[in-house]
Structure 1
Amino acid sequence: MNWYEVLIRLILAVVVGGLIGYEREFKNRPAGFRTHILVCVGAAVTSMIQLYAIQDTTNMILHNPVLSSALKADIGRLGAQVITGVGFLGAGTIIHEKGSIKGLTTAATIWVVACIGLAVGLGYYFLSVSAAVGVYIVLVSLKGFETKFIDRGKIVKLEIQYKNKTGLVKKLEDYFDESNVKIKNIEFLIDEDEDEQVPHKSCLYTILVPRNLAASEIVQEICCNDEIIKVTLV
């Protein structure tokens, strides 16, 4: 492999990784521009190490045919280790925060960038460029389609101040069921009002709201209950 081929593959790895990483950086994700470039370049370097190892092994066997049965070069071993190792890096970008999971797409882009980097290092230029363009289109163009046509709902947190707990939970459950709202978590807190010496009761609801229902509508409906003093979006 000539030196200019090495440069071409490294530059292509930077371009491919930067293209996908720019989209993640623009969305303010945990792994962005530089991270994706480094992953792609690292994978490309690993692929080229494999090619150099095979070339050196082949030359050694040509000079010493006796070693043909003793020397082996596995072209897929290092690449498999890269794909496995990048899985741990992707796991670090996944954040679980009170009922919601963030970072799955970024973890997937890190993994696919590593795979594309392996293809770049092995010299599969058309495959590498086509895959990079396809991934970028998926990230940029299909986001609007997913938001518009795939109803996943959104996580909303409500802090509810109430007078009496009796019957409150049941009424809220009935309302949420009718509105197709899923309850993810309920936390009841009791604080003492130092000025009036009256128990001040509040609870925190974490709910999954359909996209066709605004959080403000839920707040208005809940406030109609006589037992509820105040509802705040957290």
Structure 2
Amino acid sequence: MFMATLLGGLIGFEREWNNHAAGFRTHILVCLGSAMIMLLSMYGFSEFVNEVNVRMDPARLAAQVISGIGFLGAGAIMRNGSAVKGLTTAASVWVVAAIGLCVGAGFYIGSFICTFLVLVSLHLFNRWEKHLLRRRRYHEVELTMLNVPGALESVIRVLGEFGVQVGNLKMHPTYEDADTAAGPDSMELSLLLNTKKPESLILVYEKIAALGVIVSVDAKQFVVRKHGSVTTIYE
């Protein structure tokens, strides 16, 4: 159980360090609980071995852990529009449960190797992935601007000056007054941006905000991955 606490804590510390939903204590509890259930399945029913029609199956409780731990993973996954966040953390919780089962079953070599590979995947591969997909990162910007002539044109002009490509644009009028015949008071824009120089986006947002027609700016970063004809956007 102490070993399960250690291995689960190592993975949980990496998630906690990067400010994810399921962190240090969550991973420890999942790994420790899985190890305890595995120990219970192996040794907790030994006094019933000699009973008539009793069949011992140490893998029975372990199988329920693998399927039952999904509710914790579902709690770590959050969806915001087209963005999905928390998939990696949910997967790490599931793997930590498997590590706990390995520790409880005495399969220490497998648990250590799995912990090492998980840490490599979460830390080193994360940096490599960010470097490899740096040009495929999209930034979703939600703008609220006054409904005045030339406002949208001025925003597009600023984006063009910095070489920012607009992948998608959605526009929604908003009405603050009861009288809608006079037209919308403001416009809500949702822009999907792509640029080869992400560091320049701060200057882009500052220049857009300084136009005098912008009420608010909300920016998010995503990675777009295509699987055949299906496009998924991950935050």
TM-score range, shorter chain: 0.7 to 0.9
Q: Is residue 13 of structure 1 aligned with residue 4 of structure 2?
A: yes
Q: Is residue 35 of structure 1 aligned with residue 26 of structure 2?
A: yes
CA distance in 2 between counterparts of 1:132 and 1:221 reads 46
Query: What residue is the counterpart of 1:157 in the other structure?
Result: 142
Of residues 215, 223, 227, the one that matches 2:201 is 215
CA distance in 2 between counterparts of 1:185 and 1:39 reads 42
Amino acid at match of 1:121: G
Taking only aligned residues, the RMSD between alpha carbons, in angstroms, comes to 3.3
Query: What residue is the counterpart of 1:48 in the other structure?
Result: 39
Query: What residue is the counterpart of 1:128 in the other structure?
Result: 111
Query: What residue is the counterpart of 1:95 in the other structure?
Result: 78
Query: What residue is the counterpart of 2:96 in the other structure?
Result: 113
CA distance in 2 between counterparts of 1:149 and 1:131 reads 25
Instruction: After superposing the two structures, state which structure 1 stretch, 83-92 or 207-216, moved more.
Output: 207-216
Deviation at residue 109 of structure 1 after TM alignment: 0.8
Secondary structure at the counterpart of residue 92 of structure 1: helix
Secondary structure at the counterpart of residue 154 of structure 1: strand
Which structure has the highest helix share of the two?
Answer: 1
Instruction: After superposing the two structures, state which structure 1 stretch, 85-94 or 214-223, moved more.
Output: 214-223
CA distance in 2 between counterparts of 1:209 and 1:82 reads 42
| 1:48-83, Cα deviation, whole Å (9 max, x unpaired) | 11111564454x26xxxxx3xx22122222112111
TM-score using structure 1 length: 0.73
Unaligned runs of 5+ in 2: 219-235
Amino acid at match of 1:79: A
The question of whether the paired residues in 1 share the 8 Å contact of 2:143 and 2:214 is answered with no
Instruction: Give identity over the alignment, percent.
Output: 34
| 1:119-169, Cα deviation, whole Å (9 max, x unpaired) | 11100000000100110111111111111112242332222334149x959
Amino acid at match of 1:37: I
The question of whether the paired residues in 1 share the 8 Å contact of 2:35 and 2:100 is answered with yes
* Residues 183, 35 of structure 1: alpha-carbon distance in 2 compared, 3 angstrom cutoff: same
Q: Specify the structure having the higher radius of gyration (Cα).
A: 1
Q: Which runs of 4+ in 1 moved over 6 A?
A: 220-223
* Residues 81, 13 of structure 1: alpha-carbon distance in 2 compared, 3 angstrom cutoff: same
Query: What residue is the counterpart of 1:182 in the other structure?
Result: 167
CA distance in 2 between counterparts of 1:186 and 1:126 reads 56
CA distance in 2 between counterparts of 1:210 and 1:161 reads 25
* Residues 207, 54 of structure 1: alpha-carbon distance in 2 compared, 3 angstrom cutoff: farther
TM-score using structure 2 length: 0.72
* Residues 83, 216 of structure 1: alpha-carbon distance in 2 compared, 3 angstrom cutoff: same
* Residues 184, 75 of structure 1: alpha-carbon distance in 2 compared, 3 angstrom cutoff: farther
CA distance in 1 between counterparts of 2:103 and 2:63 reads 15
CA distance in 1 between counterparts of 2:171 and 2:48 reads 64
CA distance in 2 between counterparts of 1:184 and 1:34 reads 41
Deviation at residue 16 of structure 1 after TM alignment: 0.6
Amino acid at match of 2:36: V
Q: Is residue 143 of structure 1 aligned with residue 126 of structure 2?
A: yes
CA distance in 1 between counterparts of 2:195 and 2:25 reads 34
* Residues 219, 154 of structure 1: alpha-carbon distance in 2 compared, 3 angstrom cutoff: closer
Unaligned runs of 5+ in 1: 1-9, 62-66, 193-197
